[in-house]
Amino acid sequence: MPASMLMIAASFLFATMGVCVKLASEFYSAGEIVMYRGLVGTLMMALWAASQGLSLRTRLPAMHLRRSLAGVIALLLWFYAIGKLPLATAMTLNYMSSIWMALFLIAGHLLLKRNQVDPRLIAAVLLGFAGVALVLHPTFAEQQLAYGLCGLVSGVLAATAYLQVSALGQAGEPEYRIVFYFSMGGAAAGALGTWASQWHAATASAAGLHGHTVKGAALLIAVGVLATLAQWMMTRAYGRGKTLVNASLQYLGIAFSALYGVLLFHDRLAYSAMLGIALIVMAGLGATLLRSAGNFSKPSACSSTTSTLSMISE
- pLDDT of amino acid 141: 56
- pLDDT of amino acid 138: 63
- pLDDT of amino acid 292: 66
- pLDDT of amino acid 24: 96
- pLDDT of amino acid 300: 40
Percent of residues, the chain, with pLDDT higher than 70: 84
How far is Cα 149 from Cα 78, in angstroms, rounded to an integer?
A: 10
How far is Cα 137 from Cα 158, in angstroms, rounded to an integer?
A: 23
- pLDDT of amino acid 313: 47
Contact yes or no for 312/231 (Cβ under 8 A):
yes
How far is Cα 52 from Cα 181, in angstroms, rounded to an integer?
A: 17
Could you list the beta-strand ranges (E) of the chain: none
Q: Residues 144-165, buried b or exposed e (16+ Cβ, 10 A)?
A: beebbebbbbbbbbbbbbbbbb
- pLDDT of amino acid 36: 95
Which residues in the chain show pLDDT less than 50?
Answer: 202-206, 295-313
How far is Cα 219 from Cα 92, in angstroms, rounded to an integer?
A: 22
